[in-house]
A and B are shown apart, each in its own frame.
Chain A
Amino acid sequence: MSTKHGLSTGFEQLDDLLVDGGWPCAALVEILCARYGVGELRLVASALTRPVSASQWTVLINPPCVPYAPAFQALGVNVRDLMVVHPSSHREALWSLEEVIESGSSKTVLGWLSEGDLQDKQLRRLQAKSKERDVFCVLFRPLAAERHPSPAELRLRIEQQTLDRKLIVSIIKRRGGWRVEGLELPLPWGPTTADADRTHQLMADWERTRRDMKTALL
């Protein structure tokens, strides 16, 4: 549809539920997750890999782990355009976020802020600036943040990654719609139950062989 100008999330199910037909490209988006490493990066992968003009950075501010560049590359991210910022305080992290948004040289910025120091008015500023400067700004926050209302245009909660290549996600807040619980998003890659069974078998065989060899030697 011509009115939809969002960036496809790469998940048809999710696109259908969003007003823009995908990620709102000029907005603050919150992704709530219990901890890091639960599939939060693959959820926003389409924004990381989106084709942009040569003079754009993808910025990660205060990430919880080391972004493993070869994996980003395999995902389709141009790692040369990837910038990681390590601010020394919440104030500096906020400042860098706003600076990146204001600069006009980045369309995608991901931030991990200190939850204890985060104030409502700071979120409001980020939402306003993202909208004004046409930036897709994602904040990753803990599940507890759900209790507090947020000016973010879209809030998602990651439930879990399952063994059959599914990422379970709930929409907490969206424009033009209600909450949606328990969306099952298919992941392009991941071990399956069959894999797990096979691996278990393999490991068990392995252990048995080792034990047998030990007894034989004794």
Chain B
Amino acid sequence: MLWFGLYLPHLPLEVFKQPSSTTGVPIVVTDAQRVVRENDAARAAGIRLGASLATARSLAPALVHHARNREIEAQRLERLVSTAYAFTPYVSVAAGDALLLDMAGSLKLFDGIHKARSKLRKKFGRAGHRVAIGVAHTPRASLAFAKSGMDVAWPDMPDPQTIRRITLQLLDTTPLASLDLAPKTLERFVNMGMRKVGDIVHVPRHEVVKRFGVEIADCLAELTGERMDPWNAERPPESFSESLHLIEPLRGKDEVLEPMEHLAKLLATWLARLNFGVRRLSWGVYTFDGEGASFEVGFEQPRHEVADIMAITRLQMETVDLPGEAMTITLDVLYAMPLSAKWVERDVLGQTVAQPAPPRELVERLSARLGKDALQRFCIFDDHRPEFAWRPTAERDAGKAPIPVPERGRRPLWLLEPPMPMRADHLRIVSGPERIRCGWWEQEQCRDYFVAQDRDATWCWCFRDAQGWFVHGYFA
């Protein structure tokens, strides 16, 4: 377990967009005429949290103040959830000013705690938010660390035991004030001389219950991980892996499709809960003896609807040999990703808009059946030598950047690769020569190109070099 608690202390201030000219102007956010957040300039003027607006005004006559708007804060926090999605699919809004990220699965991707944290800070910084990040093995502790600024030099890739040990050590010195306790409870602790979590966490739990109530005991248990935190229950399952065991064996691809569709429906439900789309999945069809076949299905864009998933699956199925009879069918998601808004087009009634299939879909369908290498597109390069002026590219790489082609005389529509040797007396030269000499830096070429008619009176594009005459293309 590894949780990042993201605390945004300045959120009440940050939601109000500040023109850059106001740097240095003291600004405060007030709630019920009390200052709840101040900027650096206001703090420099001596304004403290909890001061009344009148006091603040007397300290800084040029004060700008905003009334706190919790609604906007909540909206902003929702938007920041999608920012955090870039780091992990498991993000929750923890309180009015904090987010919780389960980073256990994505730590490796971001090269450890240190880099993940600095990336998060940078990303939030770009969105205009200062963020304090606490790390712990329980959600509640990570939030407490974020709020109190308790931190250590974390090892980059700690194992779960280490995370737990460090968390418990840190908790000992963490102020109780960072725990989001009711003010009254906190006051009682302070009156008893208890200021740190360590002061209370080692007290026998039944004593805590007796003196402070069950809530405090539960809170401590969640802090230390003795008790599962409710956040866990909220978290969707990490992966999708389902299987279906049939009562009677099914024969043939058509019969198998029905239970497969059932699995696809389960998958769609899982995807909908996460707002995810699937990019790659794996089907397995097995006989009673456990023999069978599995095949992968890839999608050009994240898919979340049963019909789409099944359509491509059906195409892929035609290329694989399935066992004669099937008893077990499995479906595993290999790669799923958040469904960003642009992939889903809906009309005003929330129905997916029926459109002619976008081009990617055709590519997806053709390559599912024929294989990726069967599809080809072209890039044009700015090179005088005909062989190098174009390059077929596998479909997935093509179309990235249009490269301007200078007008350079007429070229044949069909190219022969490699050029075909031709007897000189079979060619009747009708135009030329055009000397093409270039590319001394890799493979030097010097050729005189001609337009000629061959014996079929077909117009060809040919050249002569040391080896003789070659036909390089046809003016089709």
Partner of B414, one of A66, A85, A190, A196: A66
Instruction: Say yes or no: B405 contacts A67, CB within 8 Å.
Output: no
* Range, interface on chain A: 35 or more
Q: B33 at interface (Cβ–Cβ under 8 A)?
A: no
Q: A13 at interface (Cβ–Cβ under 8 A)?
A: no
Q: B334 at interface (Cβ–Cβ under 8 A)?
A: no
Q: A146 at interface (Cβ–Cβ under 8 A)?
A: no
Interface of A is mostly: mixed
Q: B473 at interface (Cβ–Cβ under 8 A)?
A: yes
Instruction: Say yes or no: B359 contacts A105, CB within 8 Å.
Output: yes
Q: How many residues of B contact A (CB 8 A)?
A: 55
Partner of B395, one of A79, A83, A104: A83
Q: A163 at interface (Cβ–Cβ under 8 A)?
A: yes
Assuming A35-B458, A80-B402, is B476 touching A199 (CB within 8 A)? no
Q: Which residues of B contact A85 (CB under 8 A)?
A: 366, 370, 374-376
Query: How far does the alpha carbon of A92 sit from the alpha carbon of B451 in the complex, in Å?
Result: 36
Surface stretch bound by A, among B92-100, B131-139, B428-436:
B428-436
Partner of A88, one of B374, B375, B395, B451: B374
Q: Which residues of B contact A163 (CB under 8 A)?
A: 430, 453
Q: B356 at interface (Cβ–Cβ under 8 A)?
A: yes
Q: Which residues of B contact A55 (CB under 8 A)?
A: 356, 358-359
Interface centre among B408, B410, B460, B475, by most A CB within 10 Å? Answer: B475
Instruction: Say yes or no: B411 contacts A74, CB within 8 Å.
Output: yes
Query: How far does the alpha carbon of A88 sit from the alpha carbon of B379 in the complex, in Å?
Result: 23
Instruction: Say yes or no: A189 contacts B410, CB within 8 Å.
Output: yes
Interface centre among A68, A82, A160, by most B CB within 10 Å? Answer: A68
Query: How far does the alpha carbon of A64 sit from the alpha carbon of B358 in the complex, in Å?
Result: 28
Q: B192 at interface (Cβ–Cβ under 8 A)?
A: no
Interface of B is mostly: mixed
Instruction: Say yes or no: B377 contacts A70, CB within 8 Å.
Output: no
Closest B residue to A73 by beta carbon equals B405
Q: Which residues of A contact B411 (CB under 8 A)?
A: 68, 70-71, 74
Q: A69 at interface (Cβ–Cβ under 8 A)?
A: yes
Residues 14-38 of chain A: 1 if any B CB is under 8 Å from the residue's CB, otherwise 0? 0000000000000000000011111
Q: B417 at interface (Cβ–Cβ under 8 A)?
A: yes
Shortest C-beta distance, A186 to chain B (Å), equals 15
Q: Which residues of B contact A160 (CB under 8 A)?
A: 457
Query: How far does the alpha carbon of A39 sit from the alpha carbon of B459 in the complex, in Å?
Result: 9
Instruction: Say yes or no: A86 contacts B374, CB within 8 Å.
Output: yes
Docked complex: A55-80 residues within 8 A CB-CB of B: 55-57, 63-75, 79-80
Instruction: Say yes or no: A71 contacts B412, CB within 8 Å.
Output: yes
Q: A181 at interface (Cβ–Cβ under 8 A)?
A: no
What are 21 A-B contacts defined by CB distance under 8 Å? A39-B475, A55-B356, A65-B414, A67-B413, A67-B415, A68-B412, A69-B379, A71-B473, A72-B378, A74-B405, A80-B377, A80-B398, A83-B375, A83-B377, A85-B370, A86-B375, A99-B365, A103-B361, A105-B361, A190-B459, A199-B429
- Residues of A bordering B, CB below 8 Å: 34-42, 55-57, 63-75, 79-80, 82-88, 92, 95-96, 99-100, 103-106, 160-161, 163, 189-191, 195-196, 199-200, 203
